[in-house]
Structures are given as structure tokens and as C-alpha cells.
């Protein structure tokens, strides 16, 4: 079995042990053995990043741009291979995997350009003869902690801006899916970026998470993952006075109004609730449907669900692969039971599937007769489980859409300009979709939420500079 090591200070180094990376579509298929770092190795990575920082922070921006562009070019050239690896380790379908790899390549290309666009401001001083300049400088060494559900796009959208704006990084990917992060590190290792600027440290959050967050050599933390872990990291960063950015869970609403195009509403709801096995932070798990369209919509969703092909993520013609792990499968099936126990009706799917290979397969589940106070409508499941909340009209739909501790993405299906406009203004989510799935966003504009979904400044697009730089105000007597 091939062994994959950490990348520290420009060298590939073995950690304390190795763990297998297993294909969730076929448990007999082991992708490789990936090393597991301990706290001492993490220390070496942070020290290497600190040593590399002064030269990188003040280095030539054309060289930086060229390196990021080269990384993006290689990812795009290898998108099919990387997308296949992604599908094999995470369980997204191969086309979804290729799409995610493409996004990662485009992100590096975008931030290659951003290297040359980091602007400041010059203002008149209130004091005669004095000039005021406002500039942005890198934060220092940044710890990047990523989840398993976007194993190449999320590392890309943290690493690319961090490097573009002159920071050094220590990336800790999710231990469930280290393959894509390792492949990204291997591409970065040949890009001309100096030793120590980028470091990959693989391992379990419970072993190296705390040492990374609390390390005195780490100046800021960018985290994407669950609310529980994110909240704990925020507390640690508050104690240590570190800048922190958290992107966490969602319980995203999709409103369907009486005047919606039914076929369009059905398709976008099925896509955002169940594709990628519902394992997207922007997936819509609460379908809020008004009385007049209710029966047609529910029948339409059930009919579309009956056509979904669930199978091996690498097989052709598959709509939905397995869920990512045994633990996630148990959580998903558990929430179907919780919903039923709370009084919901399971009207489609919700059972474990036995296919040709042993994998974590589940038929997407649709629950009706649900109310806003049920756990199934308040807690993130993070699987192919969606529930329907029936409402009388737009006002009640808007109330229920916002009636959640989360606020990441929210959608409305309507042909009414009045309701679409009102919803864009009054939704309490960070991202709002009109007649589009709640999942599926552009790579060059801000991404993030409100309430319990996000903390700190936005990721992606030029808004990423809020987190990855710090502002300096300089006064000069002319
Ligand atoms: P998770 O919180 O379990 O793990 C995320 C990362 O944190 C992993 O790398 C993990 O090893 C690490 N970690 C675990 N314990 C840690 C600790 N004590 N200290 C530091 N790091 C630690 O999340 P997950 O299961 O990998 O991902 C699923 C979650 O991610 C869902 O809640 C989903 O909504 C969320 N997510 C959010 C976004 C977004 O941008 N809002 C995007 C994708 C996923």
C-alpha cells in the first residue's frame, strides 16, 4: 500500500503512525495509508512557517502570482484525475468531483491575480502637512482546518488567499479524506513556493487540533467544520487573542410559493437537498411549501426521487454516491428515526441500501408533516434527509425560513418579483438564491453566513483579504 507523508519545511516526512483512507463506495478499496502527525511534528511545521514568513511577506508579488497561477493551471489540467480521487475518497459522483477540482483550480487562478490587486488608500490628514496611508499587510502564520465534504475546494479557498496576501500556512485537512489535500500539497511542492511557506500536517483533530489552535506561533485560524468544534476553537482563540474565521453548519430553508414553476421548484429542491448526498453546508434540508402548491410539489419531489440512481461514486450515470462514513450513515439513519418519533411521516426513501459493493449507501429520505420545533428541523443532519414544512403563505414562509439558529444559505422559488425582492432583503442568511438551489455558488464572490453558521469575516473573492490581512495606518509629515 502506498504511503503518503506530511509536507513540512519543503520535505516529505513521516508522522507518528499511518491510517488507511477508505473508499466509502467500496470498503475493500483502500486509497492509501496517510501519515498521522503528533504535536511535535506540528511544532516543526509552525516553526518552519514562522522562519519562512519574513521573506515571503516582503517578497516579489509577481513571483507569488506566477506560483499560484502555476498551481491553478496544473489542477485544471489534472481535474479529471483529481476529481476521480475526490469521488473515490469522499463519495461525491465523479462529475461532481471534477467540478470541485475545477473550482479549486479557478480559485488559485483568481488569487494569482489578487496578488497584484491588493490596494491601500491615501487620505488627506486633518493636520496640515501630514499624509495618511492605509495599507494591508499579511497576518503571519495561519492555521487552516478543513472538513471532509469539500476535500479540495475548501483547502484551495483557504490556502490560495492566505499565500496571495503574503501569509505562511499550516494546513490540517480532515483525517477522513486526506487524499485531495495531499495531492494539492504535492502540486504546491513543485510550484516554486519556498520551503516552509506551505506546510501540510495530516492527523486527527482530537490529537493535533488543540496544539494547532493554541500554538503561540500561529497568528490566526481559519476553520470550516461543525458548530461544536468551531465554537470551541472560537473560545480558545478568544483566550489567546487570535484572529479567527469560522464557517460552520446550516439548516438551510428552501421556500416554494404557490406561484412557483412546479417543475423548476421540484428539480432545484431535489438537487439542493439530496445531491452530493446532502453533505453540503448549503444543502436545503427544510422545504417550506405554501398550501396551494403543496400537493403538486410533494408528488413531484417523490416522483423525481424515484428516478434517482444511487451507486458507486465512480460509476457512470449515478446521481448520488454513498455517504462519507459509517458514523455519518448512522447519524443520517438516526435522524430519520428521530423525525418519525417526533410525528413526521416518512414518504420516500430513508432506508439503508445493499449494493454490489459494500459501502455507506442510503436512499435519500423525505419527511412530511413536520413542524418547526422538531429536532429534524432545528439540527443539522448533514446527510440526504429533507423535511417539508407546510405554511399558509409568504409571510409565514419567511418567518419559518428565518426560524433557525443557522443562517448560511436560503432559497425561494417564485415567479413574483415582489416576493423575490422582499425575500432577498429580509432573509437572515448570508447567501440568498432566487429560483436556484441553495447549494452551488461562484468562486469569485463572498461566501459565508450569519447567526450560528459563521463567525468572523467572509471567505472567497476579494473579501477574503479582510481575514488574511491586517490594516496599517501610517502618518508622514511632508
Ligand atoms: P468537524 O468539525 O468534525 O471537523 C472539521 C475539522 O476540524 C477537521 O479537520 C477535524 O479534524 C478538525 N477538528 C476536530 N476536532 C478539533 C479540535 N478539537 N480542534 C481543532 N480541530 C479539530 O466537521 P466535519 O465533520 O469534517 O465537516 C462537516 C461540517 O462542516 C458540517 O457541520 C458542515 O455544515 C460544515 N461545513 C461548513 C461549510 C461552510 O463553509 N459553512 C463548508 C463545508 C462544511
What domains can you pick out in the chain, each with its CATH number? 3-248+453-477 (3.40.605.10), 252-434 (3.40.309.10)
User: Do 279 and 439 contact (CB within 8 A), yes or no?
Assistant: no
Dihedral, CA of residue 190, residue 193, residue 194 and residue 199, to nearest 10: -80
Residue 408: CB within 6 Å of ligand 1?
Answer: yes
| Ligand 1 atom with least separation from CA of 147 | 26
pLDDT value for 456: 97
pLDDT of residue 360: 98
Which residues, in sequence order, are bridge partners of residue 431? 409
Which residue is closest in CA terms to ligand 1's atom 35?
A: 225
Ramachandran class of 127: left when φ > 0, alpha when ψ lies in -120 to 50, beta otherwise:
beta
pLDDT given at position 290: 98
Torsion, Cα 371 353 284 184, to 10 degrees, reads 150
Atom of ligand 1 nearest to the CA of 453: 41
Query: 273 C-alpha to center of ligand 1: Å?
Result: 20
Three-state DSSP at 130 gives strand
CA of 268 to the centre of ligand 1 (A): 26
Distances in Å between the alpha carbon of 394 and those of 166, 181, 268, 430, 473? 47, 43, 19, 20, 48
Helix (H/G/I), strand (E/B), else coil: 178: coil
* Residue 332, CA distances (Å) to 54, 148, 358, 376, 382 in order: 47, 16, 18, 11, 7
CA distance 223 to 230: 7
281 catalytic residue (yes or no): yes
Ligand 1 center from residue 157 Cα (angstroms): 15
CB 104 within 8 A of CB 156: yes
Residues in the chain: 478
The answer to whether residue 459 is catalytic is no
CA distances from 397 to 367, 376, 421 (A): 18, 17, 14
- Where helices occur in 32-129 by DSSP H, the ranges are 39-58, 61-77, 79-90, 94-114
CA of 470 to the centre of ligand 1 (A): 25
Q: Is 208 in the pocket of ligand 1 (CB under 6 A)?
A: no
Which protein residue has the closest C-alpha to ligand 1 atom 40?
247
Pocket perturbation via mutation, ligand 1, pick of 149, 225, 228, 280 by most ligand atoms within 8 A of CB: 225
Ligand 1 neighbourhood includes 150 CB (under 6 angstroms): yes
Query: Which distant-in-sequence residues (6+ apart) come within 8 Å of 419 by Cβ?
Result: 257, 259, 394, 412
Atom 30 of ligand 1, nearest CA residue: 225
Alpha carbon distance 201, 182 (integer Å): 9
Q: Is 269 left (phi over 0), alpha (psi -120 to 50) or beta?
A: alpha
What are the distances in angstroms from CA 447 to CA 67, 429, 459? 25, 11, 5
- 290 Cβ contact list (under 8 Å, min separation 6): 256, 257, 258, 390, 391, 392, 393, 394, 397
For 173, the 3-state DSSP assignment is: coil
> Which of the following is catalytic: 89, 100, 281, 459?
281
SS3 261: coil
Nine-digit cell string for 410: 436560503
* pLDDT of res. 144: 98
Q: Pick the residue whose CA is nearest to atom 12 on ligand 1.
A: 205
pLDDT at 449: 98
The pLDDT score that the predictor gives to residue 143 is 98
First and final CA of the chain: distance in angstroms? 67
Ligand 1 contacts CB of residue 149 (under 6 A): yes
Low-confidence residues in the chain, pLDDT < 50: none
**Active-site option among 74, 96, 247, 459:** 247
Q: 226 C-alpha to center of ligand 1: Å?
A: 4
Q: Whole-angstrom Cα distance, residue 165 to residue 162?
A: 6
Q: Check residue 478 and give its pLDDT.
A: 81
Q: Is 146 in the pocket of ligand 1 (CB under 6 A)?
A: yes
CB of 247 closer than 6 angstroms to any ligand 1 atom = yes
| Angle, helices 61-77/94-114, rounded to nearest 10 degrees | 170
Q: Which of 152, 155, 156, 226 to mutate to test ligand 1, by most ligand atoms within 8 A of the CB atom?
A: 226
Contact 236 CB / ligand 1 (< 6 Å): no
Check if 429 has its Cβ closer than 6 Å to any atom of ligand 1.
Answer: no
Q: How far apart are CA 13 and CA 4, in angstroms?
A: 9
The predicted structure's pLDDT at residue 283: 98
Amino acid at each position: 500500500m502506498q504511503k503518503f507523508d506530511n509536507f513540512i519545511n519543503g520535505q516529505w516526512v513521516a508522522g507518528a503512525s499511518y491510517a488507511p483512507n477508505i473508499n466509502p463506495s467500496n470498503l475493500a478499496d483502500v486509497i492509501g495509508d496517510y501519515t498521522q502527525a503528533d504535536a511535535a511534528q506540528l511544532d516543526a511545521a509552525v516553526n518552519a512557517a514562522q522562519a519562512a514568513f519574513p521573506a515571503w511577506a516582503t517578497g516579489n508579488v509577481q513571483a507569488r502570482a506566477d506560483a499560484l497561477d502555476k498551481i491553478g493551471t496544473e489542477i485544471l489540467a489534472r481535474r479529471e484525475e483529481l476529481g476521480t480521487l475526490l469521488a473515490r475518497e469522499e463519495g461525491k459522483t465523479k462529475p461532481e468531483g471534477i467540478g470541485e477540482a475545477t473550482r479549486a483550480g479557478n480559485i488559485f487562478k483568481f488569487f494569482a491575480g489578487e496578488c497584484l490587486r491588493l490596494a491601500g488608500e491615501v487620505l488627506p490628514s486633518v493636520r496640515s502637512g501630514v499624509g495618511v496611508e492605509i495599507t494591508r499587510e499579511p497576518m503571519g502564520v495561519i492555521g487552516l482546518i478543513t472538513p471532509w465534504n469539500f476535500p479540495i475546494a475548501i483547502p484551495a479557498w483557504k490556502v490560495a488567499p492566505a499565500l496571495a496576501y503574503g501569509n505562511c500556512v499550516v494546513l490540517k485537512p480532515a483525517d477522513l479524506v486526506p487524499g485531495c489535500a495531499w495531492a494539492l500539497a504535492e502540486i504546491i511542492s513543485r510550484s516554486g513556493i519556498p520551503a516552509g511557506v506551505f506546510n501540510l500536517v495530516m492527523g486527527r483533530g482530537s490529537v493535533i487540533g488543540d496544539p494547532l489552535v493554541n500554538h503561540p506561533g500561529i497568528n490566526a485560524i481559519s476553520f470550516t467544520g461543525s458548530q461544536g468544534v468551531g465554537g470551541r476553537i472560537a473560545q480558545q482563540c478568544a483566550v489567546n487573542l487570535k484572529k479567527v474565521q469560522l464557517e460552520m453548519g446550516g439548516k438551510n430553508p428552501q421556500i416554494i410559493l404557490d406561484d412557483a414553476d412546479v417543475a423548476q421548484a421540484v428539480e432545484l429542491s431535489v438537487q439542493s437537498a439530496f445531491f452530493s448526498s446532502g453533505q453540503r453546508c448549503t444543502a436545503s434540508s427544510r422545504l417550506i411549501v405554501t398550501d396551494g402548491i403543496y400537493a403538486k410539489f410533494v408528488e413531484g419531489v417523490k416522483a423525481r426521487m424515484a428516478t434517482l440512481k444511487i451507486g458507486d461514486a465512480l460509476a457512470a450515470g449515478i446521481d448520488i454516491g454513498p455517504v462519507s462514513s459509517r458514523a455519518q450513515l448512522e447519524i443520517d439513519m438516526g435522524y430519520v428515526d428521530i423525525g418519525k418519533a417526533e410525528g413526521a411521516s416518512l414518504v420516500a426513501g430513508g432506508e439503508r441500501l445493499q449494493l454490489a459493493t459494500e459501502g455507506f449507501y442510503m436512499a435519500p429520505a423525505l419527511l412530511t408533516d413536520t413542524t418547526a420545533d422538531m429536532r429534524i428541523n432545528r439540527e443539522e443532519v448533514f446527510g440526504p434527509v429533507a423535511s417539508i414544512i407546510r405554511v399558509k403563505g409568504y409571510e409565514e414562509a419567511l418567518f419559518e425560513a428565518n426560524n433557525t439558529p443557522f443562517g448560511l444559505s436560503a432559497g425561494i422559488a417564485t415567479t413574483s418579483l415582489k416576493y423575490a425582492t422582499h425575500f432577498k432583503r429580509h432573509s437572515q442568511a448570508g447567501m440568498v438564491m432566487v429560483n436556484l438551489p441553495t447549494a452551488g455558488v461562484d468562486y469569485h464572490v463572498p461566501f459565508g453566513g450569519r447567526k450560528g453558521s459563521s463567525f468572523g469575516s467572509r471567505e472567497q473573492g476579494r473579501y477574503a483579504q479582510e481575514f488574511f490581512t491586517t490594516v496599517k495606518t501610517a502618518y508622514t509629515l511632508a
